[in-house]
Amino acid sequence: MLITGAASGLGLALAREYLALGDEVILTDVHADPPAAVQGLPGRWSYRRLDVTSDADWAAAAQDIDSLDILVNNAGIAVGGSLETTSMESWQRIVDINLLGVVRGCRALAPKLGRGGRLVITASAAGLVHAPKMGAYNATKAAAVALGETLDAELRPRGVSTSVICPQFFRSGLAESLSGDDPKADEMARKLLTRTRLTSEIIARRSVRGIEARRVVITPDALATFFWYSKRFSRVPFLGSTRLIGRAVARQG
């Protein structure tokens, strides 16, 4: 299997889970050499530098890899802020990584998946339910969910399933990628990403169960599941609650 964004956070936790199952894992990230956390991994693994925004890096990976059982498009960043405070540069960066990075990965390596293969995309609960002050992040993660559901329909006929992981905020390195366009929104995002009992390891363990069950949308925690089902089956109260949150955020500036 190959995992992007695997040097830390959920990518590294997923690698540990699959290595413990005896799988051979190719960990990829933007670092030239594997960081210390990767170097200490047990099991059968290799590391390659792969920037998900680089067509050349993806082409090289496709040339070097003959076949895969699992492809995990995990690399991503976070951007907080309202529409007017989020710069076009931040929009372009997050779209290039969170959405087009997944598209490049699927185009390059999905053809390497044989019958029984699994294609995995790390999205977010923000791709299912959309809170204020997170427009850029919400949009790219919603697009990732839509892409995953589309690819599931396209690839199932040849025996390849697609799963999209949609957790709520959990402790990972995602806070380090915040753009700084809106300091207040960034600070709130940091609190949500750090003041939670959920860790990358918990999310990875639960996600692997969903991947192995070939579930299309995986909500690996109770709150993400609650929000998603609330939106689906209690839409009017759900919209009312999100608008109340929007008004509260507006009052706080």
**132: which DSSP letter?**
T
Strand ordering across the sheet containing 2-3:
45-49, 25-29, 2-3, 68-73, 113-122, 161-165, 217-218
Would you say 133 and 182 are in contact if contact means Cβ atoms under 8 Å apart? yes
Per DSSP, which regions of 24-96 are E strands? 25-29, 45-49, 68-73
CA proximity to 68, closest of 23, 35, 122, 125:
23
**What is the residue whose two structure tokens read 């399933």?**
161
CA 233 and chain centroid, separation:
25
C-alpha to C-alpha distance for 28 and 74, rounded to whole angstroms:
10
Of the listed 18, 47, 137, 229, which one is catalytic? Answer: 137
Beta partners for residue 68, in sequence order: 113
Angle at alpha carbon of residue 7, lines to 4 and 8, rounded to 5°: 105
CA distances from 152 to 18, 31, 115, 147, 216 (A): 22, 31, 13, 9, 7
Residues 6+ apart with CB under 8 A from 44: 19, 22, 23, 24, 25
Active site residue 137: yes
| Residues involved in catalysis | 137
